[in-house]
Structure 1
Amino acid sequence: MFADTPRLPYIPDVVWAGDDDARIDRRTDPDAWANAVAADIPLVTQVDDGTDAGHMIPTSSASMPSLVRLMLEQLDPRTDHNVLELGTGTGWSTALLSTALTRGRVTSIEVDPHVAAQAQESLFAGDFEPTLIVGDGLQGYKEDAPYDRLIATMAVRRVPYAWVEQTTPGGVIVTPWGNAYNVSGLLRLVVDGDGTASGPFVGNVNFMWARSQRSAFDGRRFVGDVIPDPKTRRVRHTTTDPRPIREEHADFAIGLRLPDVEHRTYFGQGDRFATWYADGESWASIDYKPGADSFEVNEHGPRDLWAEIEAAYEAWRDQGEPPREQHGITVTRDGQSTWLDGPNGRVEIGPASGA
């Protein structure tokens, strides 16, 4: 599938790549562009929704090929399946699905008309003819339902029940998932005959949000806009080392308990850093200095956010520090619940004490 369908024909002339999100234009630097496209890295293909707003916020991308492979392996499409893809993007994954489904059908939805038009041009040039729709993928597309497989290429905070309704019993839903605190879960759900869907997290991914579920702080300076006056604060000290709290699985688990809190880390000289947390009304920050026995915490607002973070971290440690992949989600008509160690007799993950 991958050998027969390279991603190069689906990448636009201008991309942003690398740790510094450097702009690369095929017309002025074709070698750098070709090298970026050939590398196993994500490529930003649109910023600021295609406007000249100047924020340089990534709003569409081509995922790194190894991640595309992982997601398609988790989806496990068969040759005769009916597949719904949410987020056409460049069209490359749409082409890969079309290559795999020799007797099946691919329907792909893209919310951005300009991105959709570029994908359509690339797909038709490659002799692929999936059903391409411009619209809101969160609603699914009931006209071509039911689907054997459903895959999303944008992150969601809640799995829309429309996706479950439009997928056949035994069908698979693969989607990036997250919340304000952490967006790193790749979720694989299997739809049951009772109208529910359940499954575990199967990997570490980082996708852009569905446009209607974006962060409330996008386009705003975290310190200066979200936190307008850092001088108005309560000051105390903690002996809790902030470094392990930032590690991958701890960060995910804390996010399950504090889904409305966002955080940013700013690095200084040496190994110093400061992490800021905010919910739009309350905020907290902690400063890490190598060799220190205690760390300064600054806070403001009605919530004691740092105490909540410490409580969430300790709750996760008390559970034996389970990794992300030990957690999962069940989706019903009434909403979604998060569990640990399987949906039967599941341990509900709720807000930390004091939240």
Structure 2
Amino acid sequence: MTPDHPTWHAAELRKQLAEDLARAGHVRSAEWRAAVESVPRQEFIPEFFAKIDRIDGPTLWDPISAERSGDDRWLEVVYEDISHVTQLDGKTTAADVVEAVDGNPTSSSTMPSLVVQMWEDLEVVDGNRVLEIGTGTGYSTALGCHRLGEDNITSVEVDPQVAARAGRALGRAGYRPHLVVGDGEAGSPDRAPYDRIIATCSFRYVPSAWLEQSKPGTIILVTLSGWIGGTGLVKLTVTGDRTAEGQFLPGYVSFMSARAHNPEPAIIPNLSEGSGSRETELGPEVLTAYGPAQLVAQLAVPEAQHINFGPGGDLPEHLLVQPDESYAALSGTAANWTVEQGGPHRLWDQVETALAGWRQAGEPDIETFHVTVKPGEQQVQIPGGPSWRLPSGGETGSQSGLGRLQVTPHTDRCPGTDG
């Protein structure tokens, strides 16, 4: 084995990755293929976590590095088309531990196929100035630098430690874009206006600052998600002063939420104060299965969280709850579900009405859903069918009921984010 074997091996793995992504249709242009072949992903994830699922306990995360696994095996895993978790609980990295640990993922390196596909969907052309929300490891940022030049890339990261690691990795790889530590929702006005905006974390709505830092014709690519799990990648074109419109793209893309868009711990209200139970034709699959039905349910009750307690306990198997103490409790079997509702809003009634409208429209998939952004109002509409307003900053309801049972949301279901 020659001293430069790891470097040679990494170059071969990059070529193979680029070939695989092109064959699968994720890479569609020579420029982005060249970026994949050139950017050394190993510089951005020198250590990361491998997921260990357990039946009898919480998920564990095993630290992976060249030192622990050997250069060849480490590089092969680095260049697999999968996401790699790089941080747990907002602080712990794989370099901080020596054995598998419990934790909640808070940053990761997105699978290359999704990263490049999103860059392709952004439709950049030479000279475009791009605002990236969520620097994360810096790998996506580096791809953008290779394609457009480092001076045209501005990337915002909320976590100072994550941002510092990304800056060092970008420097090692030979790139020096404009890096900002701050809230991605605020964008980066110093470098505005931008021709393109891309987010590698999800939001409940499109931040108004992005519209203010755009111009007519700017393309915005962002994953819209929520607290039930409905999610989709939206491509918007800015049409005027703080206005934009577009549609969800085909497929289901899930990113970790921007931290300001995560819910507070759910407060379980007094379930004995609800109305009597009734039968419902809808089961919990509309809350748990990725697809348009889940997205519609989430649009119907955007302030609600879904908690799955499972069968056999004192609490209902599935609970929808929002901060004003409105709730819907589902219990039963696959053939017979009942719902009990309480609080000022009948959450399950709202879900049933929304799903009925979607079905009446022919049960369209999400790529037909139209998104309109205007000052003070953002809306998702099924053409010829119902529409729903997206939440906006501050519309989170009151946090009444403090002192009751609280459940902290768990967010490791996402395939990954560079944010």
Normalising TM by the smaller chain, what interval?
Answer: 0.7 to 0.9
Shift of 1:94: 0.2
Which residue in 2 is equivalent to 1:201? 248
Runs of at least 5 residues in structure 2 that lack an aligned partner in the other structure: 1-34, 54-58, 94-100, 391-419
Partner of 1:279: 322
Q: C-alpha displacement at 1:333, in angstroms?
A: 2.6
Match of 2:64 among 22, 25, 45: 25
Amino acid aligned to 1:10: F
Tell me the amino acid that sits aligned with residue 181 of structure 2: V
Partner Cα separation in structure 1 for residue 183 and residue 280 of structure 2:
47
For the 8 Å contact 1:189–1:198, the answer to whether it is kept is yes
Taking the TM superposition and a 5 Å limit, the aligned residue runs for 1:37-186 are 37-50=78-91, 56-102=103-149, 105-186=152-233
Distance 1:141 1:237 in 2: 51
Q: 1:55 to 1:157 in 2, by over 3 A?
A: farther
Q: Distance in 2 between matches of 1:243 and 1:334?
A: 33
Judged with a 3 Å threshold, the aligned counterparts in structure 2 of structure 1 residues 335 and 305 are, in CA distance, closer, same or farther, namely closer
Structure 2 Cα separation of the partners of residues 230 and 28 of structure 1: 50
**What amino acid is aligned across from residue 28 of structure 1 in structure 2?**
R
Map of 2:293 onto structure 1:
250
- SS where residue 118 of structure 1 aligns? helix
SS of residue matched to 1:163: helix
1:9 lines up with 2:46 in the alignment: no
Asked if structure 1 preserves the Cα contact closer than 8 Å seen for 2:150 and 2:177, the reply is: no
- Deviation of the 1:243 alpha carbon: 5.5
| Alignment correspondent of 1:295 | 337
Which residue of the partner structure matches residue 320 of structure 1? 362
Residue deviations 1:290-313 (CA, integer Å, cap 9, x gap)? 4x3x22334443433222222222
Offset, 1:259: 0.9
Q: CA deviation at 1:103?
A: 8.2
Shift of 1:101: 0.6
CA contact (8 A) 1:16 1:45 kept: no
Instruction: Find the residue that maps to 1:254 and give its secondary structure.
Output: helix
Q: Secondary structure at the match of 1:153?
A: strand
Stretches of structure 1 that go unaligned for 5 or more consecutive residues are: none
Paired residues, number? 335
Report if the CA contact (8 A) 1:181-1:260 is conserved: no
Distance 1:346 1:314 in 2: 10
TM-superposed CA distance for 1:145, in Å, is 1.2
The whole-number CA distance in structure 2 between the counterparts of 1:76 and 1:121 is 28
Structure 1's 264 and 34: CA in aligned 2 closer, same or farther, altered over 3 A?
Answer: farther
CA RMSD of aligned residues (A): 2.9
Residue in structure 1 matching 2:377, options 335, 346, 349: 335
| Equivalent position SS for 2:154 | strand
Q: CA deviation at 1:97?
A: 0.2
More helix per residue: 2
Change (3 A) 1:123 1:103: closer
SS in 2 for 1:212: helix
Displacement of 1:335 in angstroms is 3.2
Residue pair 2:61, 2:102 contacting (<8 A) in 1 also: no
Residues of 2 paired with 1:32 and 1:287: CA distance? Answer: 47
Q: Which amino acid aligns with 2:356?
A: E
Q: 1:37 to 1:144 in 2, by over 3 A?
A: same
Q: CA deviation at 1:34?
A: 4.3
2:220 partner letter: I
SS at structure 1 position matched to 2:217: strand
Secondary structure of 1:97's aligned partner: helix
Which amino acid in structure 2 is aligned with residue 227 of structure 1?
A: I
Contact 1:245–1:313 (Cα < 8 Å) also in 2: no
Segment drifting more, 131-140 vs 180-189: 180-189
Tell me, yes or no, if the aligned pair for 2:357 and 2:386 is still in contact at 8 Å.
no
**Identity of paired residues, percent?**
36
Greater RCO, 1 or 2 (C-alpha within 8 Å, sep 6+): 2
Distance in 2 separating the partners of 1:346 and 1:228: 34
2-side partners of 1:164 and 1:190: how far apart?
Answer: 10
Contact 2:284 2:318 in 1 (8 A): no
User: SS of the counterpart of 2:195?
Assistant: strand
CA distance in 2, matches of 1:275, 1:64: 31
Q: Which amino acid aligns with 2:258?
A: A
